[in-house]
Structure 1
Amino acid sequence: MKTEALGQAPDDIAGEPASVPSALLARVSGAVRASGGWLPFDRFMAMALYEPGLGYYANATPKFGRMPSGSDGRGSDFVTAPELTPLFGHTLARQVAEALEATGTDEVWEFGAGSGALALQVLDGLQAIGRTPRQYTIVDLSGSLRERQQATLARHAACVRWADRLPEAFDGVLLGNEVLDAMPVQLLARRGGLWHERGVSLDAVGGLIWVDKPTDLRPPLEVDGTHDYLTEIHPQAEAFIRTLADHWQHGAGFFIDYGFPEAEYYHPQRHMGTLTCHRGHRRDDDPLADLGLKDITAHVNFTGIALTAQSSGLSVLGYTSQGRFLLNVGLLDLAKEAGPRENAMMQKLVNEHEMGELFKVLAIGPDASGREWLPSGFAVGDRSHRL
């Protein structure tokens, strides 16, 4: 997951695109052999993304931005909402300010802060309305990202800090933008009517190949039909929520990501699953290639996250589309002061055929925090009943 504390790579391979795949393949191959010749996909995905110094989120190659990466090593692989327009973070800041007030807390915790763009926008937005938090804590993974975040957030250095793990107990408003989707998933494949867990093995020349093993694991919903079917389950994302519940005492949390409620996620027609890779602003479906040089991600089962939160003693405060959430919080008011370019980018945040519908917002919080409070982001169009 993006919040793990990871070390650095040797100087001769860290961030060098030509060296990362071969070095990472060697480590993955060693793990496969140590596991008896077969590695479950979630363990492979964890190495591909987070292996110290080599995994995609642990090396120094470019990742976030508007322009595709090129042969010169510059550019990026994908763009997130904060890189599109600061209107995203400035709007979210309004909800954060309301949540700080409603829950009586004075800290913000962001998980998987990426380039630091969202933190900057939220802090700028909070400062503009006189609600700067006492502390803004970033829980992230790699030295290269942390250095970029520190540079981006220099003017807020007085209140920003970084943490490798959660304290025994903490309060605050939690933010996670595109963090749940990057947590390793297990792959389940139904073939010939029988369920298998998909994992990684080695061919005769040491290349990575898919191998399925019979399993008792099942999707949380029965998938009608007997046709071949590939999907994901999300034990690590659910474990993350349980960990939060063990330490989090007061506050509210807002998780923004692409995904579906369970009935849509495990629809019989979604027979190829949601796992995908991103590199140079292009998608592909082969996570076994170009190790360490591309993102691997799966959509979020928001029902599973919500049920895990409730079973762990947290409350679901709201669930809706990103577009509806931002409009509820006041995006259009902020857009009045923005220029044409920012307003054009704003359309991508809210339009149904762009990010507005695919991305959802789930709010959770400890039961003791604001039981009678409905965050303004869910005042119209709350879909909690559809989880």
Structure 2
Amino acid sequence: MQKLSLPLPAPDALAASLALQHLIIDEIHQHQGWIPFSRYMELALYAPDLGYYSGGATKLGKDGDFTTAPEMSPLFGATLANLAANIFTQTSAQVMEFGAGTGKLARDFLTECQFSGITIDRYFIVELSGELRARQEDLLQDFPQVTWLQEMPVSFSGLVIGNEVLDAMPVDLVMKTEQGWCELGVALADAGADGETGPRLLYRERACDPARLAQIPEAEELPQAYMTEVHAVATGFMHSLARMLKAGQTESGRGSAAILIDYGFPANEYYHPQRNEGTLMCHYRHHSHPDPFYLPGLQDITAHVDFTAMAKAALAGGLDLLSYTSQAAFLLESGIANLLARQSPEQVMAYLPQANALQKLVSPAEMGELFKVLVVGNGVDLPDGLLRHDRCHRL
């Protein structure tokens, strides 16, 4: 693989990455020299105190590795709050957010609830990272409705929000070879190989369980050397989400909706023959590159979302498929332009940054088309405007 030219980490960050590499190498040794890529990705992102999301590195914003929609504009969270006001007429007045990052979305959501008189009883945040939870607690200290959870509860009724959550869930890698499909796991190169002075992480093939290919339409028609991802962890999350919402409806008699916002495609686009290197991507200090073995623990590792697989998992769990559309259509139909209009254009210093952020959120050339919104639920009807640009038929 081509050597990367990226900013050097601070000495303490490099030491943490080396400690995580040793942990990963030990795990490989304990499993006969090979682990699934999903296990490697899990350790790289979530190993206690060392993984990307569980360590102390700054992840979000101008000083981090990437920027999310809530970090760009308070209009994003405010728009979700105004949509929630409609949904709360059919559900309990509760929110559960997964992957809350810095807490910015929650703060903007709750601030809009205060401003617009939207009643909200509880705002749950399911957070695995101690470092992120500490940042969230500091940012949200003025909102007593917020409660933190370390795992998904058994039952819930209300609105679930997951912004850029599914893309951070570990994926497995598969490749089509002359002998058929194989799974790409993580192994070690011998010390001294390719001039290396110590063990080096690399991909290694292993026979593939045919069940892993169920997500890929017409897998046998794809060309040789085709590499892609399958999403067992994310589909498992969707099954668990469905169980939680179904149990919440049984207990409360009220419905729920889950809004999942991420970058991705329907299956027929995701597994297109020309997308032959998959979608796996890494983010390090606002640089994007394809090497997941570079400084584990210091970079984000993501894959695009197969929204067809997510929708099928929700349906299999007994939920309804309520909407699938672009982020642009979702935000515009949910009233984001009306929220911007509350700010006078004559107040240029306040108006222009928000207008520019809105443009990035909805422009087809920016986030508006790349990001999609999947809404699933039970016992809930969405406003008619949200159905105007529905793309469920593409799933």
The normalised TM-score by structure 1 is 0.90
**Which of 47, 61, 70 is equivalent to 2:43?**
47
Bigger mean CA deviation after superposition, 44-53 or 201-210: 201-210
Answering whether residue 280 of structure 2 is matched by residue 275 of structure 1, we say: yes
AA matched with 1:229: Y
CA distance in 2, matches of 1:384, 1:240: 20
* Gap regions ≥5 residues in structure 2: 1-10, 192-198, 249-254, 344-350
Partner residue in 2 for 1:265: 270
Which residue is equivalent to 1:182?
168
Residue pairs, 1:199-348, within 5 angstroms: 199-205=185-191, 206-215=199-208, 216=210, 217-218=212-213, 219-223=215-219, 224-248=221-245, 249=248, 250-338=255-343, 339-348=351-360
Q: Which deviates more, 243-252 or 307-316? A: 243-252
Q: How far off is 1:212 after superposition? A: 1.1
Shift of 1:203: 1.3
Q: Is contact 1:258–1:360 with CA below 8 Å preserved after alignment?
A: yes
Aligned partners of 1:328 and 1:376 also within 8 Å? no
Contact map agreement 2:47 2:54 (CA 8 A) in 1: yes
Q: CA deviation at 1:209?
A: 1.2
The question of 1:173 aligning with 2:159 is answered: yes
Whole-angstrom CA distance in 1 between matches of 2:86 and 2:114: 14
Task: Note the C-alpha offset of 1:97.
Answer: 1.6
Q: Please point out which of 107, 132, 136 is paired with 1:145.
A: 132
SS in 2 for 1:77: coil
- The correspondence for 1:61, drawn from 57, 61, 65, is 57
Q: Judge which range, 333-342 or 195-204, deviates more.
A: 333-342
Q: Deviations over 1:332-364 (max 9, x none)?
A: 111123401110111000000100000000001
Name the amino acid aligned to 1:29.
I
Instruction: Pick which of 32-41 and 337-346 moved more.
Output: 337-346
CA displacement, residues 4-42 of structure 1 (integer Å, 9 cap, x when unaligned): xxxxxxxxxxx9312111100111011111111001000
Contact residue 351 and residue 357 of structure 1 kept, 8 A: yes
Distance 1:184 1:83 in 2: 24
Aligned pairs, number: 359
Shift of 1:119: 0.5
1:87 corresponds in structure 2 to 75
Whether the 8 Å CA contact 1:193–1:228 is kept in 2: the answer is no
The CA RMSD measured in Å over matched residues stands at: 1.4
C-alpha distance in 1 between matches for 2:87 and 2:290: 39
**1:140-188 superposed Cα distances (whole Å, 9 cap, x missing partner):** 11111001001111111x1001001233322121000000000000001
Instruction: Give the conservation status (yes or no) of the 8 Å contact 1:241–1:308.
Output: yes
Are the equivalent residues in 1 in contact too, given 2:92–2:158 (CA < 8 A)?
yes
Structure 2 length as normaliser, TM-score? 0.88
Secondary structure of residue in 2 paired with 1:19: helix
Alignment of 1:12-51 (within 5 A): 16-51=12-47
Q: What is residue 252 of structure 2 aligned with on the other side? A: none
2:388 to 356, 363, 380: 380
Sequence identity (%)? 43
Runs of at least 5 residues in structure 1 that lack an aligned partner in the other structure: 1-14, 68-74
Q: 1:56 and 1:136 mapped to 2: Cα distance?
A: 25
Which residue of structure 1 lines up, in the alignment, with residue 64 of structure 2? Answer: 76
- Cα distance between partner residues in 2 of 1:199 and 1:41: 5
Greater gyration radius: 2
Compared CA separation, residues 234 and 375, structure 1 to 2 (3 A):
farther
